[in-house]
Structures are given as C-alpha cells and as structure tokens.
A and B are shown apart, each in its own frame.
Chain A
Amino acid sequence: MTAAQPTARHDEKPKASEEGAGGLPGELMIWVLIISELVVFGAGLLALLATRLTDPAGFAEAQSHLHRVGAAVNTVVLVSSGYLAALAVRLAAARPGLARLLLILAAGLGAVFLAVKASEYAALFAQGIGTETHAFFTFSYLLTGFHAAHVLAGMVLLLLVAVRPAPRPVGVAAAFWHMVDLVWVLLVPVVYLL
C-alpha cells in the first residue's frame, strides 16, 4: 500500500510517520472498514427500532427473555479488553514484550466475552427461541451474532499482531478492536435495555 505517501504534503505534525490516512492512525483501509461496519450496525439498529414501532408490546415481551446481567458482564469484559489493547498500542514501540502480553490478555477477554455470549444463546435455545420466533429475535440474533463474529475476527487480528508487536500493525488491530467495543456499547441499550 502507498497510504503513507500523500499525507506528507499537507500534514505538518511531527509524528507524521505514524499517520497514514490523512491524520488518522494506522492504514486507510482499516478506516474504510470501520466506517463500513459502523454503517451496517447502525442501519441494523435503526431497522430494529423502526420495526419495533409496529409492535412495541411484542418486542418488550420478547426482550424480557434476554439475559441483561450477561450483557452487563460482557460490557465490562469488552471495555477492559479495549483498555488493554490501547495500552499495548502505547507500549508497542518501547516494550514489545509487554505489549505482546497485553494483546494476548485482550484477546483472552474476547474469548471470555464469547463464552458468556454462548451461554446466553444456549439458554435461549433451551427455551426454544430461534431466529424466527419473533421479529425481535431475528434482529437480536442477527446483530449480536454478527458482532460476535467480529469479536472472533478481532481476536485473530490481535493474536496475529502479537506475534511481532510493532506500533503500526498493533495500531491497526486496536482500531478494529475499539470498533468492536463501540458497536457493542451501541448494541446493548437498543437490544437489551430499551
């Protein structure tokens, strides 16, 4: 990729070496991906809210089957994991060994998140609730399932950059991981609480 070159002209800040996409840290392509993901999840959440207008009582009833405590635990887990990834970005240049440990811990918390999620799904399946049970569940499975797939992808990314931690790749993986964080924080109120 040639992402680093065009900024030189209009970017006078001293740490220009770290900046690829017009002042954004990391690669241009990861920002294209992040924005695309946010648009998709945003559209999904809007569609949920719009569909709920047609059947508020049914949606509220369906929502009461979800496990809110699990969602709260998962929020803490994912945000902590995001913090570890952010620390890893800061330490990647000076202390790569520590950065590697932080990245592995961040990915480990991702695994905890997925385990909690899996137990949530198992409980729902045990009640005989599937994607077609109610329109609400179509959305909740779709949105949380898509999100879980991104958690998995993010874990792979974190572990990949943990092999040889350097500021640039760690920054790219952390940016993706923060997006996964952000999407979860947006999902929780709409899917679990409202």
Chain B
Amino acid sequence: MKYQTQKIALAYFAVAMALFAVQVIMGLILGWIYVSPNFLSEILPFNIGRMLHSNSLVVWLLLGFFGAAYYLVPEESEREIHSPMLAYLQLLIFVLGTAGVVVTYLFNLFDGNFALGNEGREFLEQPKWVKVGIVVAALIFLYNITMTVLAGKKTAITNILLLGLWALALLFLFAFYNPANLALDKMYWWYVVHLWVEGTWELVMASILAFLMLKLTGVDREVVEKWLYVIAALALFSGILGTGHHYYWIGTPGYWQWIGSIFSSLEVIPFFAMMSFAFVMVWKGRRDHPNKAALLWSLGCATLAFFGAGVWGFLHTLHGVNFYSHGTQITAAHGHLAFYGAYVCLNLAIITYAMPALRGRDPFNQVLNMASFWLMSAGVVFMTFTLTFAGTVQTHLQRVNGEAFMDVQDQLWIFYAMRFGAGVAVVLGAVLFIYSVAVPRREIVTPGPLERDRIEHDPDHVAAR
C-alpha cells in the first residue's frame, strides 16, 4: 500500500462482505422456499426475501466498486484521496440507508408514506429518503474521486472508471421518475439497473480488470490501455441499445424487437473481448505475481462473465426465443451466472488483490481463498445448469403446452432441490472466502510436490505467498 488513504477501501470491503453474507444466506432461504414453499411464509414472505436478496447484492457490489475506486485511484493518480473524511461519511450514509431499507422491508413500516414508505417498484422499492441518501452519497463519492483524479495523473484506467461511475450515478436519477403510464414506467425503470449492468458497470469492470492485469501480469500500460478503450467502446456500442431487449413486451413499438435483438446479440462481443484480454495479458505477461489467488479470480471473472452474461444472455435475447422463455427459470439461470461472473468475481478479485496490502499481512493463506473460488464457482455453475434445465422444461410445459404455472412448478421440484444443493455450496464458498481474507494472519502453507518442483526448476516462477 503506497498511499495511506487506500486504507479507506478496507472499510468499504468489510461492509461489502457483510452484505455479501446477507445476500447468499437470503438466497439459500429463497432456494429452500422453492423446495418447500410454505417455509417462513408468515415471517418472511417470498417477495420480501427476494427484495433483500437482489438489493443486498446490488448494494454490496456498489460498495465493492467504491472500495475498489478508493484503492486504485490513489495508485493510478499518484496522490492521496481528496478527503478521507468525506469517504467515511459516504459509507456511513450507505450503511444507514441500507439498514433503513432492511427494516422498512421486513416490517413494512410507513406503508404508503411519500418519503418513508416502500415505493413498490421492483428493485427500486427503496423509500424516497433512502434514494435521496444514495444520491447524496454518490455525489460525495464522485466529488471525492474526481477531485483526486483531477489533481493527479490521468490514466486510461481512471478515465474509463470515472466515465462508468458518473454515468452510473446519473442513471440512478431515473429512479425518481415514476410515470403513471405502466409502459413508460417500465421503460425508465430499465434505465437504472439494466443500463448499469449492460453499460456503465461494464466500464467499471473493464477498468478494474485492466488495473488488475496491469499489476498482476506486468504487461505494458500502453497495451492494456488499447484493450481497455476498445472494450469500453464495444460495451457502450452494444449495451445502450441492447437494453432494448427489455422493451419487447412492455407496450413499446414493435421495432424495439429488432433493435433489442440485434444490439443485445452484440453484447457478447465486449465480454468475449474482456475474456481474451485477460488471457492474452497473462500469456504475454512477464511478471509472475505472488498473489495467485487474485489472478485466479480475475481470470474466473472474465471467463464466467463471458458465459453468464454473454452466452447465457444470448440464449434468450432474440425476441423469437424470448417470446416463449420470458420470465422463466432461463432468466434466473442467466441472472445468477452473469452477476456472479461479471460483478461478484470482479469484486472478489480486487478484494483478494488488495487485502494483503490493506491489512499488512504478507504472506497470507491463499489456498483457502483459491478453494473458495472453485467451491463457489462450481456451485453457481451447477445452479445455472439446473435452472437452465428447469427453464427449458418450464418453457415447454407452460408456454408451449399451456399448462398452469403452479402445475408446472410442481414438476420442476427436482431441479429446485438440486439448485438448493448448489446454493449450499455457494454459501460455504462465500463463508470460506470471507474467512480467508478476514481471519488468517501470516500463515505459510507448505508447498505441495508440484509447487516444490516448479520452485526448484522454473527460474521465472515466484511462489505464492
């Protein structure tokens, strides 16, 4: 850690990890409700659990991005963060807002109140006071980071990161606009989370990945920057109009079916480019960085994002296919692998990279961390497969044969049971990850026979530590 204010990231990562735990535990409960539908039906109705599962995901990913920005911007700009006090104030506002949201959802407080009540729009349920808090916190963040970058060195990584973060914050303003016309409501609704995941977050992802590649592989900055610009251009070119694939069936004109189909099909390309980028950099790289776990997460991120967001997205993005598959478990399969691959793995990669420096514990136990990658990733991939099969069967029974929704759900039980098993693996993996970055200190793992052989015979090899 070269700059003192990089330490701010630690607080953000800690809160992010706590919410990550909440998110996966809530996911496990929801997974069990699919298996045994009356579980907790009085105390925690499914819709509330679902809100907490997806909202905590989005919030912890955002906190991770903020933490990543506070960690990498000082290193890139070569100066301390403008105001550490503001950074902690921003986190405090987020924590307060999140706590307020959870309490409001769970007990349905202030129902119908203009400023305090749940707003009722899926994913944008936050009471208005929380939304205002998010805007204030975002403004503080943008001010703080922009001032730091403006005063220091400007690199492609910080440029693209700032572009992504500014656009992210501006798009959130659409959360305040709630037209009475349901079609218009839906149209603007997609501006928030979906222009994020298909646009601005991809920029954030590309720039954080570029930072990690720069540090982990030692490839020249010029090469990394060229890739980064191309990826950012491809992401925006395909992602902005690609969001049109959400406009097929909400009452918008029919031409959206073609705009959405064509542009969203191209969204595979930036994800393919990111995967190629990560692997090409590792192959070209001269540096054998000791933080092997961070490299594993980075490559896993690029690969699983390509499959989850790219391939599984393409699977049901053409409107002719989506006409049948819309809102079935196919969507859930795509959602889980895409969020995990693109954004969860990305956050875990930067956390794995930053933690040893932030906590001043070098060497640290990477074996547990790498085990958590394989356990969690295998869990999410298996979950994706079971949900894909469930969705295929569901599409046929419900949409082609016209059977009733609940009759079909009964027939999908076996897939839901297997999905719950996958969920258990994910939760164990998450716990292992959090333990591995939070608890062991200065622990040296004895190298196994393969690693011992490599250390002995490969002069370029640097042992993991």
Contact = CB atoms under 8 A, between A and B. Distances in A.
Contacts of A44: 258, 262
Interface residues on B, range: 20 to 34
A40 B266 contact: yes
A43 B225 contact: no
A33 B237 contact: yes
A28 B255 contact: no
A119 interface: no
A2 B225 contact: yes
Interface in B255-297: 255, 258-259, 261-263, 265-266
A54 B237 CA distance: 30
B457 interface: no
Contact of A40 (B222, B253, B262): B262
B255 A141 contact: yes
A47 B254 contact: no
Given A44-B258, A142-B255, A29 B229 contact: yes
A2 B222 contact: yes
Contacts of B258: 44, 47, 138-139, 142
A43 B237 contact: no
B171 to A, nearest CB: 22
B222 A5 contact: yes
Interface string A129-149: 001100000110110000000
Contacts of B253: 131-132
A141 B261 CA distance: 16
Contact of B262 (A28, A43, A141): A43
Interface in B227-241: 229-230, 233-234, 237-238
A99 B262 CA distance: 37
Contact of B230 (A29, A40, A47): A29
Interface residues on A, range: 20 to 34
Interface string A105-145: 00000000000000000000000000110000011011000
Contact of A6 (B222, B234, B237, B254): B222
Contacts of A131: 253-255
A6 B223 CA distance: 8
Interface string A31-50: 01100100110011001000
Interface string A1-33: 111011000000000000000000000110011
Given A2-B226, A3-B226, A142-B259, A36 B254 contact: no
Nearest to B318: A47
B226 A36 contact: no
B120 to A, nearest CB: 32
Contact of A47 (B229, B234, B261): B261
A1 B259 CA distance: 31
Contacts of A32: 230, 233-234
What 4 pairs across the A-B complex have the smallest Cβ distances?
A2-B222, A43-B262, A142-B255, A36-B237
